[in-house]
Amino acid sequence: MSEKEDSGFLVALQSGDRQAFAKLVEDTSTQIYRTARQILGDEQDAEDVLQETYMKALKALPTFEGRSSISTWLHRIAVNEALMMIRKRKTPMVSVDDNMPFDSDEESSGMEIVDFCCLPEKELLTSESRQFMDQAIQRLPETLKTVFVLRDLEGLSIQETVDVMQITENNVKTRLLRARLRLRQELAGYYAEKVEKEKSK
Amino acid sequence: MSKHVHTEKCSAMLGDLSEYIDGSLHAEICAQIEEHMKTCDNCRVVVNTLRKTVELYEHCSDDVELPGEVKERLFAKLELKDFLIKADTSK
């Protein structure tokens, strides 16, 4: 979150200063687009969410109370829009246990042990593996995916993620851990063959 | 490839791994995890690959840019076209 929220800027925004609003859009739209793109996995849907986010923000700015940063507030609008879009377009992939306490026995069963850290960077980041990584995110249930996108891809702090998601800190941490472990498991399976090849060299 | 056969100690560790790789875990628990990893290769691999997973995703997330035409349409929708700062599109 880089924008300086001095009170003058906020006052200008809230009093309808177009230049201040343009600066806000300029400074934050890449992050908001990226967040929507990663939650939705679709460029057109992400653009719709992007536009809707700023349309809603424009209307709601006069009542913005400043309890979180403007950027966090924009993320909250965008995430809500994205989740609403997902709910409209398909059966949500929410697993019933997403808010349950972390069960280490359940999470560790069948865990793949493949040390893919040893692979060279160029093997880890081929365009094919990037595509696989994108698809792996899309396979996560929305509840886990959203937390992972906000925290690990957008670099929000735990507290900012709490503010965006409006869930408890414990829930954020549990969902983040589950998301990370599931993605690790996916990557371990994906890189297994490459690790074997590397070992046999 | 092998599957992780975990012990009670491995299980106890798993719930703390996210905070461990973020460096936000209490020092005492970090020391316990590090001690356990000295003798448990599987857990060491899980910790290292979990950290690598997050690093790889962080690295790739920077690649997603806001396309110029998407930005133009956004500014047009918001009636902010006069304020649009165009990115260098010569790339």
- Here the CATH number for the domain that contains residue A54 is 1.10.1740.10
Q: Considering CB atoms only, which of B15, B45, B66 is closest to A115?
A: B45
Per the structure, the complete domain to which residue B31 belongs is given by 8-83
DSSP state of A149: I
Residue with tokens 């177009």, as numbered in its chain: A18
- The string of pLDDT tens digits covering residues A24-52 is 999 999 999 999 999 999 999 999 999 99
Mean pLDDT of A154-168: 95
Q: Do A153 and B57 touch (CB under 8 A)?
A: yes
Q: What is the pLDDT of residues B20-71, one digit of tens each?
A: 999 999 999 999 999 999 999 999 999 999 999 999 999 888 777 899 999 9
C-beta atoms of B4 and A108 within 8 A: yes
Q: Are residues A72 and A111 in the same domain?
A: no
Considering the domain architecture, whether residues A113 and A68 belong to the same structural domain is answered as no
Other CB atoms within a 10 A radius of the CB of residue B89 amount to: 7
Domain enclosing residue A13, as ranges: 7-89
Cα gap A23→A139, rounded to integer Å:
35
Q: Which of B41, B78, B82 to mutate to test the interface with A (most CBs of A within 10 A)?
A: B78
For residue B3, being part of any structural domain is answered with no
Q: At CB < 8 A and 24+ separation, what contacts does A14-19 make?
A: A14/A61, A14/A62, A14/A64, A16/A62, A18/B80, A18/B83, A19/B83
The rounded distance, in Å, linking the Cα atoms of B71 and B84 is 8
Structural domain includes residue B65: yes
Q: How many domains does chain A have?
A: 2
Q: Are residues A110 and A193 in the same domain?
A: yes
pLDDT reading at B1 higher than 60: no
Question: Looking at the 3D structure of chain B, how many domains does it have?
Answer: 1
- Integer-rounded Cα radius of gyration of chain A: 19
Which of A34, A113, A154 is nearest residue B2 as measured by Cβ atoms? Answer: A113
Among A102-106, A125-129, B25-29, the least confident range:
A102-106
What ipTM describes this predicted complex? 0.86
Q: B31 CA to chain A: closest CA distance, Å?
A: 20
Contacts of A177 in chain B (CB under 8 A): 15, 17-18
In the prediction, which pLDDT does B27 show?
A: 96
For the cut 70, the answer to whether the pLDDT of residue A193 exceeds it is: yes
Task: State yes or no: pLDDT of A1 exceeds 50.
Answer: no
Contacts of B1 in chain A (CB under 8 A): 112-114, 188, 192, 195-196
pLDDT for A95 equals 54
What is the C-alpha separation between A148 and A18, in angstroms, rounded?
Answer: 33
Q: Which amino acid is at B29?
A: I
A169 within domain boundaries: yes
Average pLDDT over residues A56-62: 95
Please say if the pLDDT value at position A109 is more than 80.
no
pLDDT confidence of A97, banded at 50, 70, 90?
low
Residue type, A84: M
pLDDT above 60 (res A127): yes
Q: Which of B76, B4, B82 is nearest to B47 (CA)?
A: B4
> Residue A141 CA to chain centroid, in angstroms?
12
- Distant-in-sequence, close-in-space partners of A18: CB < 8 Å, separation ≥ 6: B80, B83
